[in-house]
Amino acid sequence: MRLTVFGATGGTGRHVTRQALAAGHHVTAVVRDPARLPRLDHPRLQTVVADALDPEAIRPAVSGQDAIVSALGPRARTDASVCADGTRAIITAMRAEGIRRLVVVTASGHVVDAGDNRFTRTVVKPLLRRYLREEFAGFARTEQAVRDSDLDWTIMRPPRLTDGRHRPYRTAVDRNVRGGFTIARVDLAHAILAALDDPTTAGHTVSVGY
């Protein structure tokens, strides 16, 4: 598979890149600052320096690919719009290049559904929404842009991310993982690549957690 990863310098994006290369995929990593990407001397890795918010600038990185992964996310609270703005730019570039498969990472915290227990619905998530209001609004805009696209999309919804080691995790389609309060970035990356390989996830959300 020929795969483009946006947000490749972030914690999740780095794991996606490494695991995709280990699985035999060809990876194009789109970065704004190549110094932030750990040195990976690999014949199937191409690094493209471009502004992920500019559809024209990222078209060359999208062209000819089999799938696109967006692991864009805010590095600070002032960057709350980067996920939505970047996703819209990616969708525009994909449409222009005729690329259809898209996996976008958002979060599970802004969604309350049947996968949440009563305590999570009534206490935990109202508190999170109050503290992370701008970030959650950005994720909601991201998901709306993805759903409104005519692409073969999958939305990945992790809970709180950690830098822990790999261990068994759970997934749920179109609902949150009950009691899944954390996920290691290494396992989120694994779930992203699994979703790419599973065409039945197209048009659905996939939540992950322990």
Supply the pLDDT for residue 34: 73
3-state DSSP call for residue 50? Answer: coil
CATH of the domain at 30: 3.40.50.720
Secondary structure in 3-state letters for 148-209: HCCCEEEEEECCEEECCCCCCCEEEECCCCCCCCEEEHHHHHHHHHHHHCCHHHCCEEEEEE
On the question of pLDDT at 190 being above 80, the answer is yes
Q: Total domain count for the chain? A: 1
Q: Which range marks the domain in which residue 34 is found?
A: 2-209
pLDDT band at 132 (very low <50, low <70, confident <90, very high): confident
Supply the pLDDT for residue 33: 79
Q: Which residues on neighbouring strands pair with residue 160, listed in sequence order?
A: 182
In this structure, the dihedral spanned by the alpha carbons of residues 24, 25, 31 and 37, taken in order and rounded to 10 degrees, is -10
Mean pLDDT for the stretch of residues 52-71: 97
Neighbours of 56 (CB within 10 A): 12
Question: Would you tell me the crossing angle of helices 185-196 and 11-22 to the nearest 10 degrees?
Answer: 50
pLDDT higher at 125 or 62? 62
pLDDT band at 73 (very low <50, low <70, confident <90, very high): confident
Structure tokens at 100: 């259809």
* Residue 79, amino acid: D
**Dihedrals φ, ψ of 72, to 5°?**
-65, 145
Residues 6+ apart with CB under 8 A from 130: none
